[in-house]
Structure 1
Amino acid sequence: MNRIQIVLLTIIGAGLWACSSVSPLYVQTDKIEVNTSTQKDSVLASFIEPYRDSLALEMERVIAYASDDFINKRPVGALGNFVVDQTMQYVVNKQLVQRDDYICIMNFGGLRAPINKGNVKVGDIYKLMPFDNTIVLLKLPAKRISDIESYLRNSGGEPVGGFQLTNDSFELNSNKELNDTLFVITTDYLANGGDRMNFFKNSYEKINTGIFLRDILLEMVEKKDTLVSYVDERIKL
């Protein structure tokens, strides 16, 4: 059951309850098994159908063209690079940050599907990012860098941006020296320690923008005519 169906059923149920003047003192419930043989409610189905059809049309809407396949790979992949770099560009465009030394860290497992060569549809972005993860801005102690380095080496690489990690160095793309503070763009899931990224906990400051990562990707992709994949050496282990 998708979100639209849940909302509609909730509204219908609330309306029926509001129209009733009976205040039951005793409620008896029965377990009803729902399976493929269960008959659907034709009235409810006809009520929901326009919304379902509208959603299906939106998922099929073409928003860009991919010149290559965008695949998720370790230590660096075209898909991870694209997601991270578009997120960072969005944050800058919207002036959510006022500095140029932010880094971005996502998780490999959070990117659930590739972007295949050819027309890119709205539904493709939902497949890539089916979760309602929001973007979070973190201010961390600079000493957390050693924990981040260790994590990336052990995992074999995650989608990252704003820095280069090699066998013996961690360098910001801004060429600024790391002092006492590290600034990070990530998701609410990871900011809370998801995927064992516990180094994001106990930050100096945490700002949840409330903006869905999926919505960022949809907006950024739709602004482009053609998506071009690229793989660099931002992580070289």
Structure 2
Amino acid sequence: MGSSIRWASFLVSAALLVSCKTQLQPTVNKVQYYQIDANYSIDSAIVKYYSPYKIQLESEMNRVIGFSDAHLTKTREAESLAANFFTDALLWKGQQLDPAVQVSFATKGGIRSDLKAGNITVGNIFEIMPFENSVTVLTLSGKDMLRWADYMARTGGQPASGIKLLIENKKVKEFLVQGKPIDPNQTYKLVTYDYLANGGDYVDFLDQVLDRKDYTQRIRESLMEYVSELTKQGKHIQATIDGRVRIIE
């Protein structure tokens, strides 16, 4: 705990230094360490202050919004159950925002957790997508769609929906969008999130987009809406490995 206190003091000092316009150089005249352990009694006034917020937060996080028939695992494989659930939900939301959207794209690193079988809570969705990323719809040329496929082939496959991609020796062997080969003379609409659209996660094929539309809709909110909509229809989450991204050994 002592190291935590030292780090906290350092961060506070750094924040104050950055926020000042004057060029101040921090100095330490005397260092004193405090041991924080079970010998310290709980401050009832502080507990009383935050308890209502804690109860409200826990109530919302534990709210059940759906049900998954299987444990949706997050793996580094070309295709995973969690990835297919995630991108199917993203494609669903993208087509709500723009019916012309044909495909969705995420990365393995952006999906942060498995989704266990059974009840799905709001907290479970936060675990999968804890970031504040929002929905972005991009218009790409046929050429840049092929660059997307090359990116996925080089990186061992990435989460996607609306496609069929066959990879051999880190090269694209087959690439279909909505069941059809890419037409270099056509344009395509892809839904993703702002972090990737800005080049995050080493995404290098979105530097020449023909059009970009950013929405305030959070990815996390989209996942919740997708699960809730299935629940309204009396359906469960039933993600499967369907061969949308496959590597030939």
- For the aligned pair, the TM-score class normalised by the smaller chain equals 0.7 to 0.9
Alignment length (residue pairs): 205
1:75-116 C-alpha deviation (Å, 9 max, x unpaired)? 111111111111211232x3x21325x211101111111011
Shift of 1:181: 2.1
1:71 to 2:76 alignment: no
Task: Report the CA distance shift for 1:57/1:89 in structure 2 as closer, same or farther (over 3 A).
Answer: same
Aligned AA (1:55): L
Equivalent of 2:209, from 198, 203, 209?
A: 203
Output the aligned Cα RMSD.
Answer: 2.4
Aligned-partner Cα distance in 2 for 1:186–1:77 = 18
Q: Measured at CA, do residues 151 and 39 of structure 1 come closer, stay the same or move farther in structure 2, by a change above 3 Å?
A: farther
- Structure 2 unaligned residues grouped into runs of 5+: 1-27, 168-172
- Alignment of 1:48 with 2:33, yes or no, is no
- Distance in 1 separating the partners of 2:41 and 2:208: 52
Q: Specify the alignment match of 1:184 in structure 2.
A: 190
- Structure 1 position 176, deviation (Å): 7.2
Structure 1 233/52 Cα, relative in aligned 2: closer, same or farther at 3 Å?
A: same
Does the 8 Å contact 1:71/1:114 carry over to 2?
yes
1:43-95 per-position Cα deviation (integer Å, ceiling 9, x unaligned): 44422220111101111122212111101232111111111111211232x3x
Would the alpha carbon gap of residues 35 and 87 (structure 1) be closer, same or farther in structure 2, given more than 3 Å must change? farther
Where do 5+ consecutive residues of structure 1 fail to align?
Answer: 1-29
TM-score (norm 2): 0.74
Deviations 1:162-209 (A, max 9, x none): 111114221111537522423211110000001111211232211111
The answer for the alignment partner of 2:129 in structure 1 is 129
How far did residue 129 of structure 1 move? 0.6
Q: What secondary structure, in the 3-state scheme, does the structure 1 residue paired with 2:71 have? A: coil
1:129 and 1:214 in contact (8 A); partners too: yes
1:171 to 171, 176, 182: 176
Q: How much has 1:42 moved relative to structure 2? A: 4.5
Whether the 8 Å contact between 1:69 and 1:229 is mirrored in structure 2 is no
Of all paired residues, the percent bearing the same amino acid is: 26
Letter in 2 for 1:230: T
Task: Provide the C-alpha distance between the structure 2 equivalents of 1:188 and 1:146, rounded to a whole number of angstroms.
Answer: 21
User: Counterpart of 1:200 in 2: which secondary structure?
Assistant: coil
- Alpha-carbon distance between aligned partners in 2 of 1:152 and 1:140, rounded to the nearest angstrom: 16
1:227 aligns with 2:237: yes
Q: For the structure 1 residues 140 and 147, does the alpha-carbon distance in structure 2 shift closer, same or farther, using more than 3 Å as the test?
A: same
User: How far apart are 1:39 and its partner, in Å?
Assistant: 7.3
Instruction: Give the aligned residue type for 2:131.
Output: F
Indicate the residue corresponding to 1:12 in structure 2. none
> For residues 207 and 72 of structure 1, do their structure 2 counterparts lie closer, same or farther at Cα, with a shift above 3 Å needed?
same
Q: In 2 relative to 1, CA 76–52 (structure 1 residues): closer, same or farther, beyond 3 Å?
A: same
CA contact (8 A) 2:64 2:120 kept: yes
Contact 2:125 2:224 in 1 (8 A): yes
Matched AA of 1:60: N
Distance in 2, matches of 1:35 and 1:130, equals: 32
Return the alpha-carbon distance in structure 2 between the equivalents of residues 177 and 154 of structure 1. Answer: 19
Farther-moved stretch of structure 1 (127-136 vs 32-41)? 32-41
Structure 1 segments, 4+ long, off by >4 Å, are 30-35, 37-42
